Structure 1
Amino acid sequence: MKRLAFFLTSILLAVFVSVAHAAPQAYVLAQGSKVEFFYSSGPEPTRGTFPITGADIVVDLENVRRSRVDVDVSTARVRVADPFGMVALKGEDMLNTGRYPTARFQSRRITRTRDGAQIEGDLTLKGIRVPVVLQAIFLRKSTAPVDNSELILRVSGEVSRKAFGITGFPNLVKDMIRLDFVVNIARPI
C-alpha cells in the first residue's frame, strides 16, 4: 500500500510540476499562412485569399486565457480566380487597397470552448475597427514534433462587409463574408 501511495504521489507531483511550469509560449509565423474568405455572388460561394504578412502569437495550451493573437494581412495582395473580380476587390468601394493595403486582427480575450477556443477581438479593415468573435482550434500536423513546437491555428467566423464600408456590388455580393484563417506557427529556435 505504501508503494502504491508513493507511486501515485510521484505521478501527481510530476503532473503538478509540469502544469505549474507551463507558461505562455511565443510563436513566429511559418510558411503557408493565409486568410481565406468566402462570399456569395451566386449559387456557389466564391473563394479568395489574403497572405498573412506578420503575426505576434502567444499560446498557452494549459490556460488559453493567457494566449494572444495579433495578425497582419496584406489586402493589397488579394487573390481570387476572376481577374476582373480581383481588380474590383481592390477598388475604392470595396477594399480600397491603394489607401488601405493591410488589415489587422487583434485578440482581446480568448476563452476555452468544448471544441477549442473562442477569440474576441478587433478586426481593422479600411481603417475601421470592428469587434468580432471568432472560433479557433489548435492543430498539429501528423509530421510535426509532439512537443507542440509547430502548430496550426485555425480561426473562422463571419463578418459584415457593410460594417467596414465595403459597399460595392450590393446586388451581386451578399453582406456576410466567411473568414477562415490558417496560421502556421512555430516556436523560435
Structure 2
Amino acid sequence: MAKSVWVVDNSHSLVEFAVRHMMIATVKGRFTQVEGRIEVDPADITGAYFEGSVPVASINTADSARDDHLRSADFFDAQNYPTLTFKSTKVERAGDGYKLTGDLTIRGVTKPVTFDLEFAGVGKDPWGNEKIGFSATGKINRKDFGLTWNAVLETGGVLVGEEVKIELHLEAARQA
C-alpha cells in the first residue's frame, strides 16, 4: 500500500492525562476535542507522519472549578495559548511496537517528546469507510512547558505533581 492521508475522528479518539494530586492520589482528565491527520502506509508505520491539536478550552477533569483553573494563566493560559499541538519527527520500530517522536507545544514552549506507539490496524466501518487506529502513551514534566504553578502542603509536599502521564487513542478515516 502507498502512503495515504487519514483524518482523526474526534468522536472515536481520546487524549487523556494523569497527574499526582497531593502526592497521594492521581487525578485524570481529558481533552474532549482532538483534531489531526496522519500520513501513513499501513504496511510500513515507520514512514508515518502524525500532526494534531487540542483546544485547551476542551479540558475536562470532572470538576468545573479545577477546569477553569487549568485554563487560567496559572496553568495552560488558554486566553494566550488556546491550542496544544504535536508534530511528529520520526517513527521507529521498538520491540513489538513503535516509538513516536515529535515536537509538543504547550503554552508556546516546544519540546521533543517520545511516546510508545501501538498500531491497532485498519478496518472498514459498517458504511464502508476505511479506518485506522493507533494508541500512544508517554510522560512529560509539566514544568518543562511553563506549567509551574503549585502549592506547598503543610505536610511538606506539593499539591500538583510534576510528571504528567499522557495517553492517546486515535481513530482516523482514510481520505479519498
Q: TM-score category by the smaller chain?
A: 0.7 to 0.9
1:23 aligned residue: 2
What runs of 5+ residues in structure 2 fail to find an aligned partner? 152-157
Report deviation, 1:73.
0.8
CA distance in 1, matches of 2:99, 2:130: 22
Q: CA deviation at 1:61?
A: 2.7
Moved more, 49-58 or 129-138: 49-58
C-alpha distance after superposition, 1:18-73 (max 9, x if no partner): xxxx2112111212322100011043311101134321211223222211100111
Moved more, 160-169 or 50-59: 50-59
1:86 counterpart SS class: helix
Does the residue aligned with 2:70 lie in a helix, a strand or coil?
helix
- TM-score by structure 1 length? 0.80
For residues 114 and 146 of structure 2, the distance between their equivalents in structure 1, rounded to whole angstroms, comes to 19
Q: Is the 8 A contact 2:42 2:122 kept in 1?
A: no
1:72 to 19, 30, 53: 53
Bigger relative contact order, structure 1 or 2, given CA contacts below 8 A and separation 6+? 2
The 2-side partners of 1:64 and 1:92 are apart by 38
Q: 1:57 to 1:50 in 2, by over 3 A?
A: same
Return the offset for 1:83. Answer: 1.9
**Partners of 2:43 and 2:136 in 1: CA distance:** 19
Query: Who is 1:3 aligned against?
Result: none
Q: Does structure 2 retain, via aligned residues, the 8 Å contact 1:52–1:71?
A: no
2:131 corresponds to 1:150: yes
Match among 25, 38, 41 for residue 18 of structure 2: 38
Identity value in percent: 27
How far apart are the structure 1 equivalents of 2:56 and 2:46? 29
SS where residue 174 of structure 1 aligns? strand
Judging by fraction of residues, say which structure has more helix. Answer: 1
Alignment map for 1:149-188 (pairs within 5 Å) = 149-170=130-151, 171-188=158-175
After superposition, the CA RMSD in angstroms is 2.2
Letter matched to residue 33 of structure 1: S
By how many angstroms is 1:141 displaced?
8.4
**Does the 8 Å CA contact 1:140/1:148 hold for their aligned counterparts?**
no
Q: TM-score, normalised by structure 2?
A: 0.86
Unpaired segments ≥5 residues, structure 1: 1-21
Within 5 A, what are the aligned runs for 1:71-90? 71-90=52-71
**Matches of 1:71 and 1:79, distance apart in 2:** 18
